[in-house]
Amino acid sequence: MNSSFNKLLTFRKWVITLMVCISLTHFLHIERVYALSDSKQFVLDAWTLVNEGYYDPEKFDEINWKRIRQKTLQKQIETSEQAYSAIEDMLKPLDDPYTRILRPKDYELLKSSNFGSEINGVGLQLGEDENGKRVKVISTLAGSPAEEAGIVSGDFISKVDGIASEELGLANTASKLRGASGTKVLVEITSNIGEIKEFDLERRSVDLRPVRTKRLRNDSHTLGYLRITQFSESVPKKIEEALQELKDKEVEGIILDLRNNSGGLVSSGIAVADSFLSEKPVVETKDRNGIKDAIISQKEISFDGPMVTLVNKGTASASEILAGSLQDNSRSTLMGEQTYGKGLIQSLKSLGEESGIAITVASYLTPKGNNIQGRGITPDKLLDLPEANEFGNSEDRWLRNAEIFLGSLLDKKEVSNSTNELVKIDEIEQITKKES
């Protein structure tokens, strides 16, 4: 009896001891979580934002996302730079170049390009190639040092100031190209045929001028030329003003130029579609839950005349949304070459007061359900012609082709209207004869 009783007491002591140990471990764990340093808390905040917003949660299971958080927080992270590097390492397994940490300088520059009219740098808009290993030029900004040097869409950035872009990664390559006006940066470029060139570019303030317009005249018609270089916050309002100006000049049709427009704010691209489409689907987004949401344009439009839209391999993201909506709704003929193929949407989140994080939150489809990610949009009419050094000038053969084609559309419209008038006159004469 005593033996059994003693065994029971011993067992109870072990249970109590075990429970105390478990509670103490849990308590220490809680203490450790709440005692994170500011730098580690910064990393944890980044992980949480991605965890809550990333468009493809199945990827988390594939890469063991929670384990990555645990291993990252075990690292020595005491400075801001260590925190940024830890976040970059943490995000690499996602294999998504568009989900990235933005250091203070990059964050400020990105906000400036989205909301302002100027940016300091060499004027290159970058992405990654299909394999995610090389940094690729999506487009060059008009009037920028990069454009003047002859760097074109499709070229690859090999090195910046002697450091390989593969070592830097997309975000750091872009960061090193930016800087104060007057400073220089050495850029090594590899063309898509393997030719290597080196450029010593001087950074300067590049006027983004997102909307440019002019009137085009020939013997038969008056046309409007409307170029959008990127989609910043101010663009929808500027487009409304530009269209009103062109209507005051009594243009009969419009050539919309989206060449080398690498995107910007998706909301701005969608808002511009409202100017040309009346109650039509603009784009269909697909979120992390697989829910598809179609965005429909407003009823009132600013221009309902004939259109031609120019696109090229530098046409990407928000500009592809606009081009795809115009094509799928048979609102505008697309002319040029295959577009870039960026069908992912990012949300910009603030991390503290100075830095941020861009997170891919959705993918998008054109109104007819076409997924352009990695594929791009095929124009209705392909142009196999050299592109002009400056879009919109007298040497721009693509623009000249668009003028001729738009003129032919207007001629057909006039013939159709004349035929309809003749039919109406004939009907009136028939009625008059019957009455008499």
Catalytic residues: 317, 328, 342
Q: Which of 258, 260, 221, 220 is nearest to 239 (CA)?
A: 258
Question: Is there a contact between 259 and 336 (Cβ–Cβ < 8 Å)?
Answer: yes
Q: How far apart are CA 273 and CA 257, in angstroms?
A: 14
The number of beta carbons lying within 10 Å of the beta carbon of residue 95 is 11
CA-based nearest residue to 298, from 324, 273, 330, 316: 273
Kindly state the tokens that stand for 35: 């005692």
Phi and psi (nearest 5°) for 97? Answer: -65, -15
- Hey, what's the torsion of the CAs at 286, 287, 293, 297, to 10 degrees? -80
Beta bridge partners of 60: none
Tokens encoding 253: 């049709």
Euclidean distance between CA atoms 49 and 314, whole angstroms = 30
Q: Residue 414 corresponds to which amino acid? A: E
What is the CB neighbour count within 10 angstroms for residue 330?
9
